[in-house]
Amino acid sequence: MVQSVNPRTGAAFGPTYSDTTSAEVSSIITSSVAAFKKWSKVTAGVRADVLSAVADAIDSHAAKLIDIADQETGLGVPRLTGEVGRTTFQVREFAKAIRTGQFVAPQVDHFVDAPLPAGHPELIRSMQPLGVVVVFGANNFPFAFSVLGGDTASALAAGCSVIAKAHPSHPQTSTAVFEIVAEVFAAHGFAQTLSLIHGVEAGAQVLSSESISAGAFTGSLRGGRALFDIASSRKNPIPFYGELGSVNPVVALESGLKDPKAFATGYLDSLLLGNGQFCTNPSILFVPEGSPVLAEIESQIKERKPTPFLSPATKSGHDANRNELASLLGAAPIVGEEKNDGGLYSAPAIICTQIGDPHFNLEALRLECFGPTGVVVAYSSVGELIETIGSLEGALTGSIFAAADDGQALGVSTAIAKKVGRISWNGWPTGVAVSIGQQHGGPYPASTSPIHTSVGLHAIERFLRPVSFQNFPASVVTQLLS
């Protein structure tokens, strides 16, 4: 059973939500299987019409949804307004893509009458929806990575039905979004195409069911790995697309630090955006030894004010990891302003270290401190910098700040690119565009499938299975693919 907590006050409020029972889960799975059979058979144009109607319905209820989410997350109206806009934008982008046949239209490879290897029969490569998908909502994006987030939107666009697990830190927002979407689907004759469950055990039960064809998750390494293991150890293993957190490297070369004050401000703005509760924040900043930017960062962090955590669990996890980081690196955090009024706050902080220092610890650079804490690492040579980057674990994203004519930039960029799914030039890693060229994934443990993305239009490919039809009569294959 869960109840919302106001991060600004620490007080619980609103209705309580009981975990979905085992019997209820079984019923939901049965309904979702039936819904899939219907939803997967309609044309992409019909699916696009329904998805467009869903986006319109969410936009029409935006003010109410934002108010609820702000009370549950403390993220603020401006941030949440933008997130609702992003959520409906990505739903419409998937609708637009499938309406034009992108990703879902069959590809015809015509018969070639020639000797092997050039000759071959006619092959029609189709993309078939996988089946029922379970989506585990994220804590830090109550709209864009939650019940109607990118995972759900892309799976629905592919023709899959979805069972969404509500995140316990925003159950009211999850329920409100679900009810709006479910009403639209029912009005169009596709009831149960989207379902909602609550509770850890309910989520595990759904993922374990042989009726489920794929899972998608955004959250912690511990939670995501546990779910990945369930998906992999089933009698019939299924794809599990997990984003498991990320320690993102940002490198500043000397040539990229022409304005130390502005650079420090940009770094702290990115680090502390959303109280640091972004999977793309600049977790580790590498700067040259002796650079004036170090003193500038230390000075500016002391003036930064705290903002609320998303939940008590997020705060406690962050505080424990900050203490562990400080212990591993043998360095006391340099902190900003404190706030002790009962809300879910911790002072923003940085922890400084240097490669080659007796206390320098590579293990510390693999520990994600999800929240308002960053690690600043000084380096004395580009060689040791590249070697250290090579020892990092996989990450979602990274950045390099350098002049275009800096001869050292190529080697450093190459090192970063081997560890991440997206690398930015002279730009901070926070902020992920929903576009055709986006890659939001990376080597493990950033994600469980580095060849896929959970943001952008290519996210739909995770929920489509290729099937080729060889030498089929036109009359038959047309019916099969209609």
Q: Are 203 and 177 in contact (CB under 8 A)?
A: no
Output phi, psi for 134, to 5 deg: -105, 130
Query: How many Cα neighbours within 13 Å face the side chain of 320?
Result: 6
Nearest residue to 171 (alpha-carbon basis) of 356, 332, 291, 12? 12
Does the annotation mark 93 as catalytic? no
Measure CA 81 to chain center.
Answer: 19
150 exposure class (CB count in 10 Å sphere: 0-12, 13-18, 19+): buried
Marked catalytic residue, from 279, 296, 352, 368: 279
Exposure letters 336-353 (e unless 16+ CB within 10 A, then b): beebeeebbbbbbbbbbb
Nearest residue to 192 (alpha-carbon basis) of 24, 304, 431? 24
DSSP H or E segment with residue 401 = strand 395-401
Length in residues, the chain: 482
User: Tokens for 232?
Assistant: 């992999």
Nearest residue to 247 (alpha-carbon basis) of 66, 111, 393? 393
Q: Are 135 and 227 in contact (CB under 8 A)?
A: no
Neighbouring-strand partners of residue 120: 112
Residue 403: which residues within 8 A CB-CB, separation 6 or more?
Answer: 253, 255, 256, 409
Nearest residue to 174 (alpha-carbon basis) of 82, 87, 276, 239? 87
Output phi, psi for 37, to 5 deg: -60, -35
Does the annotation mark 289 as catalytic? no
Cis preceding linkage at 443, omega within 30: no
Marked catalytic residue, from 83, 243, 296, 368: 243
The catalytic residues are 243, 279
